[in-house]
Amino acid sequence: MARFIKPNGLHRRLEGWPLVFTVLVTISILVGGLVEYLPMVLIDDSVQRIESVRPFTPLELAGRDIYIREGCNNCHSQTVRPFRHELERYGEYTKAGETVYERPFLWGSKRTGPDLYRVGGKYPHLWHVRHMEDPRSTSPRSIMPPYPWLLEKPLKLDDLPRKLRVLQRLGTPYSEVEIAQAVDDARRQAREIAAEVEAQGGPAGLADREIVALVAYLQRLGTDIRTAETAPAPSAPAPSGPAPSAPAPSGPALAAGE
Amino acid sequence: MEQTRTTPASTTAAPGSSNVQLFSYDEQIVRLFVLATVIWGFVGMLVGVLIALQLPFWPANLGEYLTFGRLRPLHTNAVIFAFAGNAIFAAIYYSTQRLCKARMYSDLMSRIHFWGWQAIIVAAAITLPLGLTTSKEYAELEWPIDVAIAVVWIVFAVNFFATLQRRRERHMYVALWFYIATIITVAVLHVGNSLALPVSFMKSYPIYAGVQDALVQWWYGHNAVAFFLTTPFLGLMYYFLPKAAERPVFSYRLSIVHFWSLVFIYIWAGPHHLNYTAVPEWAVTLGMLFSVMLWMPSWGGMINGLFTLRGAWHKLRDSVVLKMFVIGITFYGMSTFEGPMLSVKSVNALSHFTDWTIGHVHSGALGWNGFMTFGMIYWLLPRLWRTKLWSERLANAHFWTGTLGILLYVLAMYASGITQGLMWRAFDEAGRLMYPDFMETVVQIVPMYWVRLIGGLLYLSGVVMLMVNVYMTIRQAPKSLPDPTFAAPAPAAAAQPAAA
Ligand code: HEM
Ligand code: HEM
């Protein structure tokens, strides 16, 4: 070591060889990447699948892209940590297997607003419509921006087949039929949501507005494992991987962080 | 420490020796980058102040294109890639030429780098408010812009390495090591994290999903901090601080040890952004361990910086440049102490998702990146424009308002972050959440948001003072600023073993 770093040592020589120096730097920065990240990226089984977790429907996907466009992730996280206070506030903590269709992941880094991972089913559709139009109408002192244009802008669905196709290429299991019928399917789901909003006493004619897609997405969030829990047959999340239980990400669910 | 000739050309024309070459430095490119730094710094921080206002005062969300969700990425991209980015390019183009005793390899490539980078920033400023975003932090720009970034970066790299190759100085000074690490690593990270399949001209889906996407993103995100906001600024420090203090660097050995350990360890620390998430336990624990280890090499840099001033502390009194540098390095030390602490799981359990992170970010960003940049600019201004700085007093006023701004900003965020973190986890005696309504925890911290706004405004007014000083200094500069010429032995004389 001393030989290496002394004023006229080996390192001094290295400083005269930019090429060698650059190669060594490259190796140094690649080691961590290769050991720590690459296994996760290459080994598909490193994330245990959960059978009840399904890809987003076309309309939910459109809503998700609106969520991304509006940058909701800058204020809302989408990942519940395994602490008692978070389980009480938000619900079950997020499992790796639930995230496999999240392209991109939207876990966020800041909770200016509450976590949304389990918001699906928490409120009626109409609540979300009112809240997005004017957050102060449902949460009096809210600091969330209003998004009234979501109730006005026409919902664009024509690019859905292409979106599903790209996701299919990347590994999301959309069938050919689903891709071919993506637009019709989205329209049907949009009509259902709009009808329910109207039935709850909300504004009519939202079926072709962006807001229905966003509501569809929000109502889907975090519900896949709930469906599994209420379903009669196999008990709770049935992982297809080798291990019998869903991966507990970071230690025991209830103990940490108190 | 290297010796840079500052004598005018006429006196250095070496007599007789055929081995001596005359050459000049491209100073115009440095001037361009300095101006871009100041202008984008103002824009980026103005957006910062606007989003700081939007949080306590929602009516400041000005319609569809200017909501918080769309402007926050604009702020981060503008301050990181436009303000800090142009600043490090100014530092690199100024110091590399002098450390290599060679003009940049290609003036054309330098221009392509400059204008290409500005075009990318403009593209970001247009697309982000339009909602065209990938959502991945610090990598929000969509794929066509990502491609442009890669191309411009390659031009920069070729120009830089070709300059190294033509150097007339045998050994590469430590600043150059940090520049090499920056250029290589940013290229690797940018490409690795941006891999995506396009759906249309401005929409794509990443090739990674869920947990994998999260890991790759924070491999990138954390090392954007490391290799965009840290290593190039250390290079800047190693060049400009000894210049301004007129002292050699404190320890050559320390610079070797801390350089290699920093470069090696930083990459591993990414998963500390994913504590307690669905990412596998082993990855997160590795991330935490390496983050704690990172404290040492980080402080190695701080110590080498501060101790370079040994015996020169009295110079601080009349050098605004040194004052800026000292505050900058001190904040570097503070944020790199805080960072490892925040990586520890039990601390992160409290701090994650709160304003504590925002406080940490801005102690690094405003203190370290901002003040190192300002110090460099105040040092460069008289040299690049060959006149006196227009007003030392104004520069001092900038120093004090800026420092006060940082303190208000950072303290407000610590108070709000810890308050909110504690309120989220509080239980009452019956074992129920004490504050089940999320809004209770928001209302509590709104006053802190106002304090942060004041801090931000102070800091921004410091930047305005800088702009005035830059403008007035340039106004009094001579009309023509020809590149200075120098003389040095030809590269062949300074034989280069393997690299040639
Ligand atoms: C006038 C000065 C500035 C003000 C008022 C300001 C304000 C803000 C605000 C309000 C946020 C959003 C915080 C939140 O979501 O709760 C933010 C985020 C951020 N700012 Fe600044 N900022 C300033 C300068 C800077 C500078 C100079 C840099 C970098 C060189 C910077 C880097 C960042 C980063 C990286 C984030 C994102 C942090 C995260 O995601 O955790 N800011 N800033
Ligand atoms: C030893 C050095 C450092 C370590 C170990 C470190 C560690 C951390 C940790 C643990 C977080 C919080 C992650 C979370 O809970 O979400 C964080 C966030 C951050 N740090 Fe550091 N930090 C270091 C130095 C710095 C420096 C010098 C800067 C310069 C400006 C910086 C910029 C940031 C930014 C921008 C974020 C926010 C990322 C985001 O959530 O968007 N860090 N850092």
Lowest mean pLDDT among B52-66, B148-162, B342-356, B473-487: B473-487
Phi, psi at A15, each rounded to 5°: -65, -10
Share of chain A above pLDDT 90, in %: 74
From residue A111, alpha-carbon distances to A132, B146, B174, B277, B388 in Å are 18, 28, 40, 15, 48
Quick one: pLDDT at residue B80? 97
Per residue in B421-446, pLDDT tens? 999 999 999 999 999 999 999 999 99
pLDDT at residue A244, as a whole number? 35
In this predicted structure, the answer to whether residue A3 has a pLDDT above a threshold of 90 is no
Cα radius of gyration (chain B): 23
| Residue A137 is assigned to a structural domain of this protein | yes
Residue pointed to by tokens 């600019």? B377
Confidence check: pLDDT of B497 > 60: no
Alpha carbon of A1 to those of A11, B212, B257, B296, B384: distances in Å? Answer: 10, 38, 10, 18, 41
The residues in B 396-425 lying below 8 A from A, measured between CB atoms, are 424-425
Choose which CATH entry (3.30.70.120, 2.60.120.10, 3.40.50.150, 1.20.210.10) describes domain B25-476.
Answer: 1.20.210.10
pLDDT of B493 = 42
Q: Are B304 and B240 in contact (CB under 8 A)?
A: no
Question: What is the rounded average pLDDT of the residues A230-242?
Answer: 40
Residues A88 and A20 reside in one and the same domain: no
pLDDT at B279 over 60: yes
Q: What is the average per-residue pLDDT within A153-173?
A: 96
List pLDDT tens digits, range A187-224: 999 999 999 999 999 999 999 999 999 999 999 999 98
**Please, which pLDDT band fits residue A46 given cuts at 50, 70 and 90?**
low
What's the number of domains chain A is made of?
2
Asked if A16 and A74 sit in the same domain, the reply is no
pLDDT of amino acid A239: 37
- CATH code, A215: 1.10.760.10
> Residue A110's closest chain B neighbor by CA?
B353
Q: What is the pLDDT of residues A84-99, one digit of tens each?
A: 999 999 999 999 999 9
- Chain A CB contacts of B214 under 8 Å are 99, 105, 107
Query: What distance in Å separates the CA atoms of residue A116 and residue A103, rounded to the nearest whole number?
Result: 17
pLDDT exceeds cutoff 60 at B183: yes
> Does residue A243 sit within a domain?
no
Instruction: Say what the pLDDT of residue B311 is.
Output: 86
The verdict on A91 and A215 lying in the same domain is yes
| Domain residue ranges of chain B, discontinuous segments joined by + | 25-476
Is A50:A237 a contact under the CB 8 Å cutoff? yes
Q: What ranges make up the beta strands (E) of B125-262?
A: 196-200, 203-206
Are A107 and A33 part of one and the same domain? no
**Of all protein residues, whose CA lies closest to atom 40 belonging to ligand 1?**
A109
| A window 9-38, beta carbon within 8 A of B | 11-13, 15-22, 25-26, 28-33, 36-37
Nearest by Cα to B105 from B23, B192, B163: B163
**What pLDDT digit, counting tens, does each position of B232-255 carry?**
999 999 999 999 999 999 999 999
Predicted confidence band of residue B490 (pLDDT cuts 50, 70, 90): confident
Name residue B485's beta-bridge partners. Answer: B24
Predicted confidence (pLDDT) per residue in B78-122, tens digit: 999 999 999 999 999 999 999 999 999 999 999 999 999 999 999
pLDDT in tens, B119-175: 999 999 999 999 999 999 999 999 999 999 999 999 999 999 999 999 999 999 999
A130 and A24 housed in the same domain: no
Interface test with B, best of A34, A47, A143 (most B CBs within 10 A): A143
Which one is predicted more confidently, B493 or B452?
B452
Same domain, yes or no, for A15 and A89? no
Q: Indicate the residue of A82, A113, A141 with minimum beta-carbon distance to B443.
A: A141
pLDDT per residue as tens digits for the range A69-122: 999 999 999 999 999 999 999 999 999 999 999 999 999 999 999 999 999 999
Compute the distance between CA of residue A206 and CA of residue A191 in angstroms, rounded to an integer: 8
In a domain, A21, yes or no: yes
Q: What does the mean pLDDT of chain B come to?
A: 93
Q: Within a domain: residue A231? A: no
How far apart, in whole angstroms, are the C-alpha atoms of residue A71 and residue B131? 8
State the pLDDT at residue B488: 85
Q: How confident is the model at residue A45 (pLDDT cuts 50, 70, 90)?
A: low
Q: A165 and A90, same structural domain?
A: yes
How many percent of chain B have pLDDT more than 70? 94
- In ligand 2, the atom with minimum distance to the C-alpha of B137 is 41
The whole-number pLDDT of residue A35 equals 86
Atom of ligand 1 nearest to the CA of B52: 10
- B347 has a pLDDT exceeding 90: yes
pLDDT of residue B188: 96
Rg (CA), chain A: 24
Ligand 2 atom at minimal distance to the Cα of residue B298 = 1
Asked, for residue A255, whether it belongs to a domain, the answer is: no
B468 has pLDDT over 70: yes
The span from the CA of B16 to the CA of A234, in Å, is 92
Q: Answer yes or no: do A102 and A203 share one domain.
A: yes
Does the beta carbon of B195 lie under 8 angstroms from any beta carbon of chain A? no
**Parent domain of A26:** 10-45
**Do residue A59 and residue A38 come from a single domain?**
no
Band of residue B485 on the pLDDT scale cut at 50, 70, 90: confident
- pLDDT confidence of B292, banded at 50, 70, 90? very high
Residue B162 is predicted with a pLDDT of 97
Q: Is B340 in the pocket of ligand 2 (CB under 6 A)?
A: yes
For residue B30, pLDDT over 60 is answered with: yes
- Please name which ligand lies nearest the alpha carbon of B52: 1
> Which atom in ligand 2 lies closest to the alpha carbon of residue B352?
15
Distance B358 CA to ligand 1 centre (A): 7
Nearest to A148 by CA among A167, A135, A133, A159: A133
Q: B248 in contact with A at a CB cutoff of 8 Å?
A: no
On whether residue A5 sits in a domain, the answer given is no
Instruction: Specify whether A23 is located in the same domain as A103.
Output: no
Q: Return the higher-pLDDT residue of B244 and B486.
A: B244
> The tokens of B69 are what?
């969700």
Separation CA B99–CA B169 (nearest Å) = 7
Helices B371-385 and B85-100, interaxial angle, to 10°? 50
Q: Cα–Cα distance between B118 and B81 in angstroms, integer? A: 10
Both A198 and A136 in a single domain?
yes
Write out the DSSP string of B424-474.
Answer: HH-B-TTSSBS--SHHHHHHHHHHHHHHHHHHHHHHHHHHHHHHHHHHHHH
Chain B contact for A161 (CB, 8 A cutoff): no
On whether ipTM exceeds 0.95, the answer is no
Whether residue A54 contacts residue A237, with contact meaning beta carbons closer than 8 Å, is answered with no
Domain match, A85 and A203 both: yes
Ligand 2 near B270 CB (within 6 A): no
